[in-house]
Amino acid sequence: SQQGEEDPQALSIQEGENATMNCSYKTSINNLQWYRQNSGRGLVHLILIRSNEREKHSGRLRVTLDTSKKSSSLLITASRAADTASYFCATLNRNTGNQFYFGTGTSLTVIP
């Protein structure tokens, strides 16, 4: 399976702390994306990092990519209660088609 895996599966932190989630995948990729899912809702795109990029920032989000280790991390700084959600990584490998493969997700709880 090409599916990625996030760890930890669940993370609970205090408001104001930083949250780090990791994603590992199995095949070569063209890009890796992070998505957020609030309970009972669809996924919302957060950030995309291309295979030739190593780090990317967007507001309080910082994503790193290490293609040699086939891994990525998502850092949320100064977390807020509203960041409580599940976070998924998704990978695209053009050689095997245009489907995006999603990981199993990290459930983040930010305690006010």
Partner 1 sequence: GAGVSQSPSNKVTEKGKDVELRCDPISGHTALYWYRQRLGQGLEFLIYFQGNSAPDKSGLPSDRFSAERTGESVSTLTIQRTQQEDSAVYLCASSLAGSTYNSPLHFGNGTRLTVT
Tell me, by CB under 8 A, how many residues bind partner 1.
26
Residue 24: which of 76, 64, 77 has the closest Cα? 64
Residue 105 CB, nearest approach to partner 1 (Å): 5
Q: Which of residues 68 and 95 has its CB atom nearest to partner 1 in the complex? A: 95
What's the sign of the alpha-carbon dihedral 78, 68, 86, 36?
Answer: positive
- Does 57 help bind partner 1 (rule: CB under 8 A)? no
Q: What is d(CA 33, CA 45) in angstroms, rounded to the nearest whole number?
A: 7
Which CB atom, from 79 or from 93, has the smaller least distance to partner 1? 93
**How far apart, in Å, are the Cα atoms of 78 and each of 40, 43, 69, 83?**
25, 22, 27, 10
Q: Could you tell me if 87 and 35 are in contact, meaning their C-beta atoms sit under 8 angstroms apart?
A: yes
Residues 7-36 that bind partner 1 (CB under 8 A): 30-31, 33, 35
Beta carbon of residue 65, minimum distance to partner 1 (angstroms, whole number) = 14
The answer to the question of residue 87 lying near partner 1 (CB under 8 A) is no
* Sites of contact with partner 1 (CB under 8 A): 3, 30-31, 33, 35, 40-45, 48, 50, 88, 90, 92, 94, 97-105
